[in-house]
Chains A and B, each alone.
Chain A
Amino acid sequence: MRQWLQARGFGSLGLFLWSVSLGAWLLIVGGDRLHVALPQLCGGPSEPQGLYALEFTIQTIGWPALSGGAALMVVAMMAPALAGPLLHLWYRSLSRHRWRAILLFITGYVAIWTIACLLLILTAYVLHGSTGSEIAASLVVASAGLAWQLSPARARCLARCHLRPRLSIFGAAAFTDPLLFGLTLACWCVATCWALMLLPLCLPGAHLPLMAGGALLVAIERTTQRKSKPSGLANRWA
């Protein structure tokens, strides 16, 4: 059974990351403040618009709950995709600095994603306001997201999610390299997966099922192997 799981990407680290993701899901389902408040906050055109909407949100649930909820959403959806980067940090760091490197990486990664989530929440507000309904906003995002999902630009972003940077082991660079790795990787992840995050925010009524679907897509994409095509691949996508 252990070998069967390992062969399918569920080694000890994989299982740990899936457990972390599951824990975040339980907290969300159990009712963290952001997700409980979402239907109310994303209620439609009568609600405040744009930056006022964000201000309203902050006043309603507070900064800690807002950013915490966003971070929880990131952990739930993205944790299983982080096995490769974490192994890179583990193997390429001095043994006594491994946990420090991982902590710095996660700090950078979650920071970027949290900011991105807040911007996506704001975007969802704007879309609700400008389209007049959740359904219309969702259709706009679904259409744009589908086009993005199939575009070469998105494939280029995804390819950059698989890059592994140099990690210095001495001096200030020993601190900044893992942090920059987290920041950079998160930027490419946001660029790759923004539509999967935005869609659940636009449709608060189906927020959790859509989020689960998005997480499943991310997991499948990161754990299954893409097939090399025999044609048209001679040029670098640098």
Chain B
Amino acid sequence: MARVRRNIWSLAQPWDPVLLWYARGVQALKARPFPDVTSWRYLAAIHGIEEEIWREFGWLKPDEQLPRTAEFMNEDQGQCQHHGWYFIPWHRGYLAAFEAIVRAAIAKMPGGPKDWALPYWDYNSKVGANPRALPEAFAKNTWPDGGDNPLFDKRRYGRGDGVVVIREQDVDLKPALTDGQFEGVTNGSPGFGGVRTPFQHNADRDHEGWLEQVPHDVVHGRVGGSKAGQDPRDWRFAGLMSMPETAGLDPIFWLHHANIDRLWEVWLKRDKNHKNPALSSWLNGPAGRHKFILPQPDGTRKRFAPKDMLDTSAPGLDYVYENTSDPSAGQQRLNVRLKTLSVLIPGFDGFAGPEVSSVAKKPTVELLGANAKAITLSDAPTSTTIRVDKPTARKVINSFRLNEFAARSVPEPDRVFLNLENITSDNDAAVFDVYVGLPEGADPAAHPENRAGVVSMFGARAATNMAKPHGGAGMTKVLEITDTIDQLHLSDNADLSKLSVLFVPVSAVGEGGISIKRVSIYRQSS
């Protein structure tokens, strides 16, 4: 029978046996030497490693060297997949390998259960007073066995003073769960799972999927944070969870990713049209450097491909989640939009087109407008204005016309996406909100309807570093602003030739800490 991964909030707080055994397992793994493929550090280095940072943070002693094995140097270290369509399946395999190794360590302990399964941190849970708070077992350096708590780490700065504050909008599941496509398109909707990529360890080229962007990235930044009173652009003051090179060292990382993995199951089960890619290049991927490979409890290593990660109850994985119910109660992006439009457009009563999640045709995506010059963000709100190209804007306006719509048999008018292009930053922990179409001088907090989304800089430092493969170009973030454009377009007093964009820091950015080469908008026609 498949093991059950349980919601941490449905466990007894703070030290349910599941968490206590996890802490003991973590302690056992931390005691193993680095070259042991089942050690805590080896497993964390598979996600990412940078020697200088590990030394500074004390994870490598002054006289200690990195493992010199060919396996570590050539294949094992630095495998985590980000900003692309392998993010979800790679992390599932990674999590399963980690869980099996911890379980094996626990099983060897006196009284240790043989069926231990990793719990997940459901920050949207209906159970628990504040599901977005860091669970107590991780927040305090005390535990029932005495001595240092293996689940605690002082490099978890949160808002700066060690308190983790996650807002409701930081873990908003709507963009991820309501998008019907797994695979995204460049500059348009990045889809649930991201755009097509080769093996991609560093955040260098393509667009991450909705799930990777929120809640994944934002939770990393909000938990890790950077130390208050210090320069947030200096990695020496960043939290473990803030950087891909150190995130796997934090025990909460694994519960966060168990929830991300669970949300893949939620997305698949909430709509019969939600499907994984059927392309061989995804199923048998990745293309590029080498196949994914991970250690096993017996010290061997095993290769895997996304096709091995499709069924969690299959023998290789053998787990299910306690709860994969749909938090959005079947709500679909297209249905919500059409309902809004039916209120805004007189005589509009929906279209008889196909469901968007069943549209197989690749959509057309084209540039609609851009701002005049590169901008830098600091700790105060920063604004810029996008000038819209008139001929392309006419296509968007025409897409709202009922006759055009019916003639083309498309399911909906154009969608519009805000692109923050080639973002460079040395501050991985920064998080900021983005607003579009706010009236001049308006308080953004009073206009949640203009909030396009929240952006985390998780991985930005590597994408900015020219010494990294393909580094230096930064990364591009995409936010959907279709709802705002619908409202603006259909209101009589809106000027669609220009669109204001406001960036409001949520955490410390630092003076000129983030640079955005171009802020643009794209239309996506289905």
Contacts and interface: CB of A to CB of B under 8 A. Distances in A.
Contacts of B263: none
B366 interface: yes
Nearest to A238: B466
B496 to A, nearest CB: 16
B345 interface: no
A151 interface: no
Contacts of A235: 467
Interface string A139-180: 000000000000000001001101111111110000000000
Contact of B366 (A7, A8, A94, A167): A94
Contact of A234 (B53, B422, B470): B53
Interface string A76-120: 000000000000000111111000000000000000000000000
Nearest to A233: B467
A209 interface: no
B517 A6 contact: no
A225 B421 CA distance: 23
Given A3-B280, A92-B367, A225 B465 contact: no
Interface of A: 3-4, 6-9, 91-96, 156, 159-160, 162-170, 224-228, 230-238
A232 B51 contact: yes
Given A8-B287, A92-B421, A168-B372, A162 B470 contact: yes
A225 B355 CA distance: 39
A234 B52 contact: yes
B242 interface: no
A230 B77 contact: yes
Given A159-B467, A234-B53, A169 B66 contact: no
A145 to B, nearest CB: 23
Contacts of A226: 469-470
A228 B52 CA distance: 14
A233 B421 contact: no
B116 to A, nearest CB: 31
A94 B469 contact: no
15 contacts: A95-B366, A96-B391, A159-B467, A159-B471, A162-B470, A163-B473, A167-B518, A168-B372, A225-B198, A225-B199, A225-B288, A225-B469, A225-B470, A230-B51, A237-B465
A159 B287 contact: no
Interface in B275-303: 279-281, 285, 287-289
B281 A6 contact: yes
B202 interface: yes
A228 B202 contact: yes
A78 to B, nearest CB: 18
Given A159-B471, A160-B472, A169-B367, A91 B187 contact: yes
B289 A236 contact: no
Interface in B240-280: 279-280
Nearest to A6: B281
B467 to A, nearest CB: 5
Given A225-B198, A230-B66, A236 B467 contact: yes
Given A159-B466, A228-B201, A228-B202, A95 B235 contact: no
A162 B472 contact: yes
Interface string B225-239: 000000000010000
Interface string B489-526: 00000000000000000000000000001101000000
A224 B421 CA distance: 25
Contacts of A91: 186-187, 365, 367
Contacts of A169: 367, 369-370, 389
A170 B201 CA distance: 35
Interface in B50-79: 50-53, 66, 74, 77-78
Contact of A166 (B50, B201, B518): B518
B372 A228 contact: no
Contacts of B520: 92
Contact of A228 (B280, B369, B426, B468): B468
Nearest to B289: A225
Contacts of B372: 168, 170
Contacts of B472: 159-160, 162-163, 237
B499 to A, nearest CB: 14
Contacts of A236: 426, 464-467
A168 B224 CA distance: 36
A235 B464 CA distance: 11
Interface in B411-428: 421-422, 426
Contacts of A6: 281, 287
Given A233-B467, A234-B235, A170 B281 contact: no
A7 B78 contact: no
